[in-house]
């Protein structure tokens, strides 16, 4: 659970109380309710969705929409926004504490701890990511839909080196989940909840210090890696994200940026050491060594094309071996085995099927 710095709770609580007192005085003196609402830095719980106009599913980080985020919180919790950057944090009125993590995200992190008993690191990380993917409903979002949304919001390759602020992230995610809810209303449920959980995940991965911004490339990569879709298609989109638009080739520096952002996902789940940690140089060298061995034209170590990039990824390099394992796990969940379980007598076995490694029976 990510906690706020020690000075923040006192500031938040004191500022909230002073602002509410000032708002009450203004309302008492002038009878102007709109002025009291504007003076309060925290959302007002009694605001109803019926007071809002426009598309109810599209959210931003304003105080009005913050009330809708509060509506899906457990009792006793309140969502606040930091001044300026508009980064969400959560107040537990039961024990008067504050934290960066959404209460349901904290529950998810606790549930992931039980998977630490899985022996093999690639499968352990893949199982954790599958839980995260399903909780965020990104297993329902296909890659093409995500890419279309990025283009619609101007998140093109020219902006990859720039930063995207939290309010803009909320806006993009709200459009994604609103469209997704139109296709899978029961699975997605409340759009504000899914937006908050996905934002929480992305900030923990790429902005743990809560500066309030993420690089555009990191944001797009963090969503695409957990989307559904064929693995080869996803590989090609990863290549297009970082390859030079001029010659459609990938340089070592560009591949290093891709792997650096990708390794942040195992890192936030405590699994980075098994996949090379922060040192992505060996994986970069292995990619360009493969290109050199196959005898590319020109300087074999200067860049690689999409074909060689795919050949390298199919060898499952250490830094990204967890991604194909995640896809295999997702595919195995729907597999049907025409055998009966010796323990519970269930038939057929749906999902994973295990057998003895000694007798193979």
pLDDT interval class at 39 (50, 70, 90): very low
Judged against a pLDDT cut of 60, whether residue 243 lies above it is answered with yes
pLDDT score, position 343: 75
Q: Could you give the C-alpha distances from 173 to 163, 226, 278, in angstroms and in order?
A: 16, 14, 28
Query: How confident is the model over 195-210, as a mean pLDDT?
Result: 96
Of 48-62, 184-198, 271-285, give the lowest mean pLDDT range.
48-62
Judged against a pLDDT cut of 80, whether residue 123 lies above it is answered with yes
pLDDT interval class at 74 (50, 70, 90): very high
pLDDT interval class at 352 (50, 70, 90): low
Q: Which of 77, 87, 129 is closest to 108 using CA atoms?
A: 129
Name the burial class of residue 250, with classes exposed (0-12), middle (13-18) and buried (19+) by CB atoms within 10 angstroms of its CB: buried
pLDDT score, position 349: 73
Judged against a pLDDT cut of 70, whether residue 300 lies above it is answered with no
- Compute the distance between CA of residue 164 and CA of residue 275 in angstroms, rounded to an integer: 28
Of 33-42, 261-270, 303-312, give the lowest mean pLDDT range.
33-42
pLDDT, averaged across the chain? 82
Of 10-14, 137-141, 258-262, 354-358, give the lowest mean pLDDT range.
10-14
> Is the CA virtual torsion 228, 233, 235, 236 positive or negative?
negative
pLDDT score, position 290: 78
Helices (H), 113-251: 121-135, 143-152, 166-183, 185-188, 191-206, 216-224, 231-242
- Compute the distance between CA of residue 134 and CA of residue 140 in angstroms, rounded to an integer: 8
What tens digit of pLDDT does each residue of 146-183 get?
999 999 999 999 999 999 999 999 999 999 999 999 99
Q: What tokens were used for 95?
A: 């024990």
Query: How confident is the model over 34-60, as a mean pLDDT?
Result: 40
Judged against a pLDDT cut of 60, whether residue 99 lies above it is answered with yes
Query: How confident is the model over 87-107, as a mean pLDDT?
Result: 95
pLDDT interval class at 313 (50, 70, 90): very high
pLDDT score, position 61: 57
The model's pTM: 0.78
Query: How confident is the model over 337-358, as a mean pLDDT?
Result: 70
Of 150-154, 230-234, 260-264, 333-337, give the lowest mean pLDDT range.
333-337
List domains and CATH numbers for the chain.
Answer: 7-103 (2.20.70.10), 249-320 (1.10.238.10)
pLDDT interval class at 76 (50, 70, 90): very high
């Amino acid at each position: 659970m990510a906690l706020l710095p020690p000075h923040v709770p006192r500031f938040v609580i004191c500022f909230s109380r002073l602002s509410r007192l000032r708002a009450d005085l203004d309302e008492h003196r002038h009878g102007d309710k709109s002025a009291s609402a504007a003076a309060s830095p925290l959302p007002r719980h009694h605001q109803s969705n019926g007071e809002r106009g426009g598309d109810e599913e599209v959210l931003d980080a304003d105080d009005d929409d913050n009330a809708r985020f509060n509506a899906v919180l457990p009792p006793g919790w309140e969502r606040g926004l930091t001044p300026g950057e508009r980064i969400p944090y959560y107040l537990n009125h039961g024990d008067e504490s504050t934290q960066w993590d959404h209460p349901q995200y904290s529950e998810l992190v606790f549930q992931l701890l039980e998977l630490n008993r899985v022996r093999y690191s690639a499968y352990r990380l893949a199982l954790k990511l599958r839980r995260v993917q399903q909780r965020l409903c990104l297993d329902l979002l296909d890659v093409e839909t995500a890419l279309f949304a990025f283009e619609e919001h101007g998140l093109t390759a020219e902006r990859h080196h720039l930063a995207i602020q939290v309010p803009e992230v909320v806006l993009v995610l709200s459009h994604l989940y609103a469209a997704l809810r139109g296709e899978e209303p029961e699975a997605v449920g409340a759009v504000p909840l899914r937006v908050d959980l996905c934002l929480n995940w992305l900030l923990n991965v790429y902005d743990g210090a809560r500066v309030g911004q993420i690089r555009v490339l990191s944001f797009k990569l963090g969503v695409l890696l957990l989307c559904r879709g064929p693995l080869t298609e996803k590989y090609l989109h990863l290549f297009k994200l970082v390859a030079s638009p001029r010659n459609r080739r990938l340089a070592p520096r560009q591949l290093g940026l891709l792997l650096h952002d990708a390794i942040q996902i195992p890192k936030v789940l405590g699994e980075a050491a098994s996949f090379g940690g922060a040192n992505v140089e060996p994986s970069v060298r292995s990619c360009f060594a493969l290109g050199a061995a196959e005898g590319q034209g020109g300087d074999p170590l200067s860049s690689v094309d999409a074909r060689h990039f795919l050949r390298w990824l199919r060898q499952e390099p250490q830094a990204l071996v967890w991604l194909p394992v995640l896809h295999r796990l997702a595919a195995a969940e729907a597999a049907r085995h025409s055998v009966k379980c010796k323990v519970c007598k269930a038939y057929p076995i749906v999902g994973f099927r295990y057998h003895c490694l000694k007798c193979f029976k």
